[in-house]
Structures are given as C-alpha cells and as structure tokens.
Amino acid sequence: MTTDSVKGGDGTTTDSVKGGDGTTTDSVHGGGGTTTVSVHGLGYVGLPTAALFANNGYTVYGVDTQPDKLERLRTDGADFREAALNDYVDRVLGTDALHLREHPVESDYHLICVPTPFDHDREAADLSYVRAAAEGIAPKLRPGDTVVVESTVPPGTTANVVGETLERNGDLLRETFNLAFCPETVLPGSILEELRGNDRIVGGIDDEATAAARDLFAGVVDGDIHTAPDAATAEFAKLAQNTHRDANIAIANELAKVARDHGVVPRPAFDLANEHPRVDLLHPGPGVGGHCLPVDPLYLGQHSDHVALIEHARAVNDGMVYYVRDLLEEGLGSLAEKRVAVFGLAYKGNVADTRNSPATRFVETLGETPELVATDGGNVVDVRVHDPHVAEAGVDLWSQSAALEGADALVFMTDHDEFTELDPETVAERMDDNVVVDARGLTDESWHEAGLDVRRL
C-alpha cells in the first residue's frame, strides 16, 4: 500500500503543488511563518492539531462554529486532562500564532477535524459536520490551496463527498486545488506525544495533492509520512487499523467466555498460548470504548456486504457488558435489592474519557431487566460508581470508601492504577457480601485468600 515515505520534523520539505492554471510549481512548506493553516473543528483532535502547527512557526486559524467554545478558550484556555498538552495549547492561544475564528478565512491549508459519529440508526456515518466544514471552506478556497480531511470517514468520502461539496459551493474546479486525507491516530492520555511522534498516512486524489499534504505534516511530526496511492486507500487503511484491533479484542473476549465454560481461568491460559512465537492473544475485557473502535469498523459496511466477521466482532464486544452482568448475577444469585460498587467509568485506564465506555453501558444494563425496575421506574439495584479520574458523568459518583461500605459486590470495569493498590483485606472488611467481578485482570490470589469470591475475565 505504501508508495513513498519521508521523515518529518525538519519543516523544510519541498515538492510541487498545483497552480491556478492546473500546472505545477515548486513550493516550500516549512515553519517559516509564511504558510497559513486553518483547522476546522477545535475538539479533541482539532485544538491540539492547531497548537501543533502554531508551535512550529505556522500562522494558524482555529475555526469552530460554536462561539461559546471559542470564548471559553479565550478566557480559560485548554482543559484537557493532560497538563503538558494544556501548556502546549495555552502557549499559543491569544498570540499571533493561533487565531480563533467563528468563520473560515483564506489559508494555504485547510484541515477538517470535525466529528463523524454514526447516525441514529447506526446504519451509516454522519457526514453532516464534514459537509458543513467543506461548505464553509469552499468560498475561501484559492487556486493551489490544499484541503486535508483528518476526520475518520468511509472510503471515498474525501474524493466524493468533500470534493463535490467544495466544487458545488465554490468557484474552483477540482483540478485547481489539492485534496487529501490524513487520519489522526491519537490516544487519550498521550495526545501530545502521539500527535508529534506517530507515523502518518497520507493519500490525495492525485500525486500533487498527496505531495502537498505529505510536505505539510513532514514539517511538524517526528514519525514517518507514508503515502498511499489515493485518498480512498488511506481512508481504508485507517479503518483497517481500528477494525484489526476491535476484531482481535473480540477473539480474546469470545475465547474468555469459552474458557469459563470449560472451567478454565482465561488470562493464565492466554499467557500460555502466547508462548507460541506466532500467537499474540490480547487481554479479554468488558468491551471497547472511545471514539474509534466501537464505531469505525462499521463504516466498512456502508458499501460492502463482506463484513460478517467485522459485524460479529462488534456484536461480541458490545455484548460483553451483559456477560459481566451475568457473572455478577451468578455470584449474587439475584441482583434485586443488592448494593453493587462499580469501580471505573472511563473506557480505559488512567484517563477521564467516558465516550462509549463499556462501564457506562454496564451500569445501564443493571436497570434493563424488568424484575430489577421498581414500580416508580427506579432501579432496584443500588449502584455506586467510583472513578478517581472522572469528575462529571451521567450518574452519581461515590468516594472509594463510601462505594465499598456495605456493598454486596464489587465490579472492576476500568483498569486505573489506583485500583491495583487496593488492599483485599480492607475491601473484604467493608463489604457485606464477598462477590468480586474482575473484568480487567486487576486481582490475584491474595483476593481469594482474603475470603472474596472473585470471578475473573
């Protein structure tokens, strides 16, 4: 798939881009302060991306259609749960390096970093934000400018949806501007590190567009820039990355359920299986969360019927919260009138991100069974959620000690470091019953020795 790669980070790469008449001219894109970059969408990815270019000498316009968000940024600065990232963003906010705008402006480069959620029927990607960004860019587009889509989209979106929208709403033919795709690959908790250090995949609608986008990112990232034959290949590669991980997690989860059917504890068996040089089973868990894995694999099914394994993997991972509930009910006999401490609401350890979190869905499942719903609509199960990293959530949050006090069961749904420091003897003393469901592999034999009935994934 990769047809070319260059090492980024020096800000001095040179290549050809299209001029106003469709011919090519030499253009240097580096950190010299003359190249302008507009980042459309100042969210989880867009704002750090804007700061990345602003901190490397580019003149950056951060464009967002939400005036309240812009005002908060101006007055309060960045509010990520990463101190280094906040400092990195705040360093350029309010300076000539990063200008905040509610409406698009003319720029050499336009980066689209808007959300692409699944639609309400979970049948297709919601591309309305991408279309809106392209509609705003179109009147400001000049011959030789470059538009790069960073939002995760189904294959063909860059060329067809974005390209057609730019042509329809502007005055330029597609031959006179550059259009490419370069997906983001950041991980919550390590956004700044991954934004600067990860390799990038770039694919344009033609060679000139690929070169223009490649040169832009080569000036600000330390990883390699891998060029794809076209935008659709780059779009597919991004989805393939997330699908591969989702499917491999699903294999681990399905094997974990089979293991328990045979009376086998899954994780020690997996460790033994991984002694083979060509086997690398992942850890089982309560499902997957975040903004990528629960959604992106399904985009591959929009124009293809050959996604049976992919859809099954999605169903396996989404269904793990019900399996965890089954383990809990198996231990308690019945969930009615029970006090359940749920430790962890974030979708992964040591972050505050609750997007599509299995823990959130697990809490919801405790109120889905008819016999567990009171006549007034309330939940008969007393659920006490504790998460040391999450400040706000759609449920009440408890302190660690209050959640454990008098609990009939403890369920580990997130692998925060704080939970590995728990003393099982103390936990057993505070609980009324002794059931522990460990969906994250946080417990060891000392928990059994403390008299706790531990059921592990």
Annotated catalytic sites, by residue?
Answer: 238, 292
Tokens of 298: 């399904």
Task: Give me the phi and psi of 122, to 5 degrees please.
Answer: 55, 40
Calpha distance 100→334 (Å, rounded): 55
Alpha-carbon distance 452 to 442, whole Å? Answer: 14
How many residues can be counted in the chain? Answer: 457
CA distances to 23, 64, 140, 162, 210 from 217, in Å: 23, 22, 22, 20, 11
Nearest Cα residue to 35 out of 220, 206, 222: 220
The beta strands (E) that lie in 284-398 are given as 339-343, 382-386
DSSP string, 382-416: EEEEE-SS-S--SS-B--HHHHHTT-SEEEE-S--
Spell 274-307 as b/e; 16+ CB within 10 A means b. Answer: eeeeeeebebbbbbbbbbbbbbbbbbbbeeeeeb
3-state secondary structure of 339: strand
